[in-house]
Amino acid sequence: MNRYLLTIVCFMFCSMSFAQVVKQGEKFMEVSEVEGKVVFLKEIQLKEGTSERDNYQILREWAKVNYDKDPFRSSVRYDNRNREIIAKSRVELVLPIDTKGVREKMIMRYRINAFLFQGKCVLEVTDIIYLYENTKSDKQPFPRLIRAEDFITDKQLEEIGGHLEFKQNTRKSTFYFLNELSQDLESKFGY
């Protein structure tokens, strides 16, 4: 147990020094990298006047509603001892209309870790991979699977000739989805 807590504390200190930690009520606005991986972190205050056990039950219920319904779309694991959930899922992102008037779609796979720590619920979204399937034509020079690190980071957007608009639209849709997801979790804790 102590080893687990020490690992979490070390991870939190490392993450906070390199990643954007979004506070309650704020939105994701930057793509942060920790040790070369895209990571989104958000801290949400636990419900006041509620025990840690009851707060964990709120987190479990949220995970159950969002990730425990369709085994073909997502999976969730509950760690009751450490008051943590780990979920893997995918979502179809509808990108904004580009300058050609085309609205592309991307499948985004991701992993969520959410746990209670020092009076807060910490939401971590990582392991983001995009699945691009252009059904109209295969003219886009993208691999079928695209890691977020290779597509939506500031460094990738600065590269010349790298389909900037498509990358920007994917980034916008990713932010939109993550902000809606975190806002939904905040509402469960009464904010």
Residue 11, phi then psi, degrees to nearest 5? -65, -45
- CATH code where residue 93 lies: 3.30.530.80
pLDDT at 61: 96
pLDDT at 15: 45
Number of domains the chain is built from: 1
Quote the CA–CA distance of 18 and 36 in Å, as a whole number. Answer: 10
pTM higher than 0.75 for the full model? yes
Residue type, 67: Y
pLDDT at 172: 96
Q: What is the pLDDT of residues 98-111, one digit of tens each?
A: 999 989 999 999 99
Residues forming a β-bridge with 108: 91, 130
pLDDT at 38: 95
Residue 93: which domain range? Answer: 2-188
DSSP assignments along 18-58, one per residue: HS-EEPTT----S-EEETTEEEEEEEEEPPTT--HHHHHHH
Quote the CA–CA distance of 180 and 165 in Å, as a whole number. Answer: 22
Give me the tens of pLDDT residue by residue for the chain, a chain 191 residues long.
555 554 555 555 444 444 568 888 889 999 999 999 999 999 999 988 889 999 999 999 999 999 988 888 899 999 999 999 999 999 999 999 999 998 999 999 999 999 999 999 999 999 999 998 765 555 556 777 899 999 999 888 887 666 889 999 999 999 999 999 999 999 999 88
